[in-house]
Amino acid sequence: MATTADFRNGLCIEFNNDLYTIVQFQHVKPGKGAAFVRTKLKSLTSGKVLENTFNAGVKVNVARVEHRPHQYLYNDEMGYYFMHQETFEQISISGDLVPNTDLLKAGMEVDIVVHADTENVLTVELPPFVVLEVIYTEPGVRGDTSSTNSLKQATVETGATIMVPLFVNTGDIIKVDTRDRSYSERVKK
C-alpha cells in the first residue's frame, strides 16, 4: 500500500480493477478545503489515458511490474517473437500488445513490461528513438521552402510512413521518435 505522497511518474498502481501507470501528477493545496492530487493515468492493458483526482492521503495498491530486456526477432501470423537478452528464451506476443509495430526492426532492443505477480505480459516498450533508412520519398522541389514547417511523406525501411522535412531524400538515415512517430533528426552515415 502507498499513499498519494508516494506518487511519482512511472509508478504502476491498481485502480478500477485495472493496472495504470502514472504519466503526470500534481499536488494541489487550495486556500480553502482539503488538498488533492490531480493525475493522468495510462492503462497498461488498453493504452487509454484518463484523468483522475485523488484526495490527499488516500491509499492505493502499488502493482509490481518488471521491465525485461528483449530483442525483436521477427513476426508472422501467430505474433511477434522476442528473445530475452540474458536467458535467450524466446516468447511470442500478440500484435495488440506491441505499439507501433511498423517501426520494429529486426535486432531492435525493447523492454517487455510484465506484471510480476501473474507473469502476464502487459505491453512492449520500444526505445524512445529508432534509426531508420528512408527507402522512398518525393524529391524536395526548389522554392518549396517558403514555409518553415513544410513536411512530406517518407517511407522508411520497416514500411512505416513518417512526415519529414523537405530536405530529406531517399537513402538518408533518420531518427524517429517512437512515442509520437515524428521525425527527430538526420543521422550521419
**CATH topology of 2-62 equal to that of 65-125?**
no
Residue 139: DSSP 8-state = P
Backbone dihedral region of 31: left (phi > 0), alpha (psi from -120 to 50 degrees) or beta? alpha
* CATH architecture classification, 2-62: Roll (2.30)
pLDDT per position as a tens digit, 28-51: 999 888 999 999 998 887 778 899
Q: Which residue ranges of the chain lie beneath pLDDT 50? A: none
User: What is the predicted pLDDT for the residue at 36?
Assistant: 93
User: What is the predicted pLDDT for the residue at 143?
Assistant: 60
pLDDT per position as a tens digit, 117-146: 888 888 888 999 999 999 999 887 666 555
Strands 129-137 vs 121-125: parallel, antiparallel or unpaired: unpaired
Residues making up the chain, counted from first to last:
189
User: What is the predicted pLDDT for the residue at 90?
Assistant: 93
- Count CA atoms within 13 Å of residue 132 on its CB side: 29
Say what percent of the chain tops pLDDT 70: 95
Cα separation, 14 vs 71, whole angstroms: 29
Q: Which CATH superfamily is domain 129-187 in?
A: Nucleic acid-binding proteins (2.40.50.140)
Cα separation, 111 vs 20, whole angstroms: 17
Enumerate residues 6+ apart whose C-beta is below 8 A from 18: 43, 44, 45, 46
Give the 3-state secondary structure of residue 22.
Answer: strand
Q: Which CATH superfamily is domain 65-125 in?
A: Nucleic acid-binding proteins (2.40.50.140)
Give me the residue spans of the domains in the chain. Answer: 2-62, 65-125, 129-187
CA distances from 173 to 73, 103, 135, 148 (A): 22, 14, 9, 21
Give the 3-state secondary structure of residue 180.
Answer: coil
